[in-house]
Amino acid sequence: MNLSFPILEAYTYLNTANAGILSQNIADWRTKHDDDFIAGGSMFRTENLPLIDKLRNTISGLFGSKTENTFLVQNFSVGFNTLLAGLDKNHRFLLLEEEYLSVSYPVRSGGFEYRTVAIDKNLEENIIHAIDTFKPTVFSFSMVQYISGLRMDDEFIQKLKSNYPKLLLVGDGTQFTGTTAFDFEKSGLDALIGSGYKWLLGGFGNGYVFLSDQMKEAVYSQKKLAELPNTPFLKGKTHLSMCFEPGHLDTLNFGALNESLAELAAIGFDSIEKLTQTLSNKARFELNSRGLIPDWMLDRKYQSTIMSMPLHENKVNQLAEAKIICSPRGTGTRISFHFYNTEEDLNRLLTVLDGRN
């Protein structure tokens, strides 16, 4: 598939972890969508409603979630807060330190009892110790940490679920889904929730919720006491879809995600992972040799495409002057690589970091 990303003609874009970019194909699709809306009004809406179910089938098929356990939401926060609202308040949460606020704040502000775990070279041991001593009922975490880029170990997640089957595992997939081939049903997770505007390149206003059968039973079980409405336009709605998908879903934003998923699937998530991991591994080695990322980050079996560097302000300004787009996050400067990035992009970055520009 021939994809065009106009921004790449003007910038070295190392900022997908902040926002994915739109292809020209999707921009054209969005324009046609609204032109058809202008011309058709309510008739257009009726004719395009099947697009929502098409997206549900597409995304569940690509990432191994049961269609009936897949819900479409506007973003991660909407999905996660809806999930929390359906859980019993007696649940005890385990969180990671320096976790993304959209993960940690709703737990803390929701009045749940919680404990945090330090992120360091002993992460897995720290988690096991906290589970054995704190006895959490839910472990909620980002699949990829938004600052450091640390990626949770796939095999460790499966091991956790096997050893602690009653522990509900909830992942934020926003910085993860779209970077690798992934099968939710085999992952050990009980929920994966994410937004589509980063690595899925779908633009803003769309996201997804994948639930295991175990989590499906835990969420909104009390809502089953309420009788479902019998209004014709709500026919087919379940108790959970009434909660996760209330009101109208936007065919523009969800349709854009569906178009992007088709583009990514044509490339292949295996191919995307191979391309990005090759480039990211080289970047990690180069940055580590310059003292910009720690040794222990090189040793992890599963790696993300995100890295964070402690740079002085003048170096950050030099990157901006060189039209290299990245993000300040925490105490560092974050870069990230998607399939449209090249070794030439990495070399431009290293040239500025080395003061050779």
| Rounded (5°) CA angle 232-233-238 | 90
Q: Compute how many other C-beta atoms are within 10 angstroms of the C-beta atom of residue 48.
A: 17
**Which DSSP string corresponds to 265-292?**
HHH-HHHHHHHHHHHHHHHHHHHHHTTS
All residue ranges of the chain with pLDDT < 50 are none
- Return all residues near 86 (Cβ < 8 A) that are at least 6 apart: 218, 219, 220, 223, 243
pLDDT at residue 3, rounded to an integer: 81
User: Which of 347, 195, 327, 225 minimizes the C-alpha distance to 279?
Assistant: 347
Is the CB of residue 37 less than 8 Å from the CB of residue 44?
A: yes
Q: Which residue has the tokens 């970091």?
A: 353
pLDDT at residue 222, rounded to an integer: 53
End-to-end CA distance of the chain: 34
CA distance 109 to 1: 45
Backbone angles phi, psi at 330, to 5 degrees: 60, -130
DSSP 186: H
Strand partners, 151: 144
Residue range 147-179, pLDDT digits in tens? 889 999 999 999 999 999 999 999 999 999 999
Residue range 285-312, pLDDT digits in tens? 999 999 999 888 888 889 999 999 999 9
Is the CB of residue 263 less than 8 Å from the CB of residue 201?
A: yes
Q: Which residue has the tokens 């994410």?
A: 194
Which domains does the chain carry? 6-24+268-353 (3.90.1150.10), 45-266 (3.40.640.10)
Q: Compute how many other C-beta atoms are within 10 angstroms of the C-beta atom of residue 230.
A: 7
pLDDT at residue 242, rounded to an integer: 85
User: Which of 330, 322, 285 minimizes the C-alpha distance to 303?
Assistant: 285
Is the CB of residue 143 less than 8 Å from the CB of residue 162?
A: no
